[in-house]
Amino acid sequence: MDSVYLDNNATTKVDDKVFVAMRPYLTNHFAHPSSPHLLGTKVRQKMEEARDLVAVLLGTTHPDEIVFTSGGTESINTAIRGVLAAAPSRRHIITTKVEHVSVLNLCRHLATQAYRITYLPVNREGMLDLEELRKSIREDTALVSVMWANNETGVIFPIKEIGEIVKEHEIIFHVDAVQAVGRVPINLRTLPQIDLLSLSGHKFHAPKGVGALFVRRGVKLSPLVIGGPQERMRRAGTENVASIIGMGKASELAPIYLQEEDTRVRKLRDQLETGLLKQIPLLRVNGTRETRTPNTTNITFKGLDGRKLLKTMEGDGIYASSGAACTEGKTPSHVLLAMGRTPEEALSSIRFGLSRYNADGEIDYVVGSLRRIVSHLRTIINPMQRAVSQ
């Protein structure tokens, strides 16, 4: 087996159909989408088709609610900073302790600019206490920003219920759906509570460096990037045409593959999880198994150094991760710490993120390989453990 890629929460393979859709816009059809001549108009038309496709994927009938960006981080920054700039008297933000760093570090930065931030805690399963959310709402709360699905554990938050609480007040609701798009159904028509929603192309088989922000009609948002009149004055700069067209194609494909994510990919993830738990002692799954993205499992390998484990797995051609790609497993995951794990437990944890590109036969290979590797590493740490770990 050449390699088994199990790091799909970090990034995904570009679908061949996506690449084929993009190619002409990197070669022959290179005109500027804002040029009024025929060549430019044709490119614009294709870009607008991509906007329609993203809108359909999200379940909105208004393509003008889609703003193209450079990815999840920019969408999130545009949403949060844009709302705050449009409502300067409101200085309070509510988010959670387990958000991606693109939200957490932005909030930390905003705290230095006289904003107050409430970080909602999660329980040992990674779930929020909605009463805590209710209690934390203040007169000057500008926005609530929560993730749909966690990038490290796959845990899904009850977005509808959260939105209903938020909408008892005049507060903007932003959802970071970067890990949810393409993995769980999203229908903004049935979720009128959501004002803003961020997504990123490279998490659902489109290229890196492209994303979108859904901005519901009527939501007041100041632009983050100022310059030309692109994206209805909500995001200046020449659009990343080919990647946008690629993301349009990926959006068209996503509902077709969603069924596969929910059945075959889920089955593979469950096989991997049960296989590992059955064959290797002292393992624990992090995050509720009730509501998780179908492709993710996060497992603590008690007593082992996660980084060492990952390095050894690489020797067998298996690629997973110790949490968010951005932190590289050097510091204990803030998500697992928030879930009450000790720093040692957090550093012993591995995130496996599957996709439709994983073949059925890969799972047995990974389970067998990890069984051997863990047994070996535990023997090195403590030769007396040999008996337990085999």
120 with 132: CB under 8 angstroms?
yes
Is 176 a binder of ligand PLP (CB under 6 A)? yes
Q: Which stretch binds ligand PLP (CB under 6 A): 67-75, 187-195, 220-228, 243-251?
A: 67-75
Is 71 a binder of ligand PLP (CB under 6 A)? yes
Q: How many CB atoms lie within 10 A of CB 143?
A: 22
Select the residue interacting with ligand PLP from 178, 188, 242, 346 (CB under 6 A).
Answer: 178
- Least distance in angstroms from the C-beta of 239 to ligand PLP: 16
Is 273 a binder of ligand PLP (CB under 6 A)? no
107 with 95: CB under 8 angstroms?
yes
Which entry of 111, 326, 359, 388 is annotated as an active-site residue? 326
Q: Which stretch binds ligand PLP (CB under 6 A): 44-52, 171-179, 253-261, 329-337?
A: 171-179
The DSSP letter of residue 316 is T
Q: At what angle do helices 266-279 and 361-381 cross, to 10 degrees?
A: 30
Tokens 């206490």 — which residue?
Answer: 129
The values of phi and psi at residue 16, to 5°, are -55, -40
What type of residue is 174?
Answer: H
Select the residue interacting with ligand PLP from 58, 67, 72, 174 (CB under 6 A).
Answer: 72
Binding mask 84-103 for ligand PLP (x = CB under 6 A): ----------------x-x-
Q: Which stretch binds ligand PLP (CB under 6 A): 29-37, 65-73, 237-245, 297-305?
A: 65-73
∠ at Cα 305 (304, 311), nearest 5°? 115
User: 176 or 345, CB closer to ligand PLP?
Assistant: 176
Integer Cα distance of 219 and 65 in angstroms: 10
Is 211 a binder of ligand PLP (CB under 6 A)? yes
107 is catalytic: no
Tokens 């889920």 — which residue?
Answer: 266
Greatest distance between any 2 Cα atoms in the chain: 76
Is 249 a binder of ligand PLP (CB under 6 A)? no
Tokens 């001549």 — which residue?
Answer: 37
Is 7 a binder of ligand PLP (CB under 6 A)? no
> Residues with catalytic annotation?
326
Residues that bind ligand PLP (CB under 6 A): 71-73, 100, 102, 147, 151, 176, 178-179, 200, 211
